[in-house]
Amino acid sequence: MQKMLTLLFAIFIIALSGCTEKTTNIEPESQSSIISVQMADMEKQISVYEIKINELNENLHTNEIELNYLKEERDSYRKFIDQSIEYFSEDELMVLAKSEFSYVIEVNGLAVPPSAEVEVKSGDVTITLIERVTAFPALPLYIHEKGFISGNAWEHLHFQDEADSVTGTDGTVVVSYIYNYSDIQNGSVIKVEITNELQERLQLDSNVITINVK
């Protein structure tokens, strides 16, 4: 019986050794196959990225050409403007400088009309003075700066009744001054007096803006 068990154990060991040998022989081949597939995928991805990089380089080259063209065009315009300025009078240059700035007064988001009279519904009333400058001045700086209204824009407003709150925004291109009146009742009248200089910029018929609350 003991000999039989010894023989069976020996057969089991031999069989196990054979299986291990087969497994050992198969695993490297399987790993190699997996690596080959992964390498092929990576090569495909690299090819895709290379194509994208080439496209970006082409676009960059095209953009550089366009940018250089725009710079040459800008320099040509500036040269033309500098030469033309010599033939303008001071008054004409002032008109050009002012054209690079715009001023508007809005009441509840609507621009005040030339009549300088506005009707709004009862409730909150917001009066906004907006000063806007062109983002790309065409005139030389020393002329462009003459287009600003004198002093600070808010100094050109005078309110008969003080606003409940005053806020504002200060940007590179747009500056605004915001005057808020809260819970204004039906039949109320808000009047804002403006300087003659601001009236001219706003092109209003009167230097008193009348806001009728109805």
Tens-place pLDDT, residues 61-116: 888 888 888 888 777 777 777 777 888 888 999 999 999 999 999 999 999 999 99
Provide the H-helix boundaries in the chain.
2-85, 90-98, 141-144, 196-202
Q: What is the amino acid identity at position 61?
A: H
pLDDT, residue 19, reads 44
pLDDT, residue 8, reads 43
pTM score over 0.95: no
How far is Cα 190 from Cα 210, in angstroms, rounded to an integer? 6
Residue by residue, pLDDT tens for the chain (214 residues) are: 444 444 444 444 444 444 444 444 446 667 677 777 778 888 888 888 888 888 888 888 888 888 888 888 777 777 777 777 888 888 999 999 999 999 999 999 999 999 999 999 999 999 999 999 998 888 888 899 999 999 999 999 999 999 999 999 998 899 999 999 999 999 999 999 999 999 999 999 999 999 999 8
118 CB-contact burial (10 Å; exposed 0-12 / middle 13-18 / buried 19+): buried
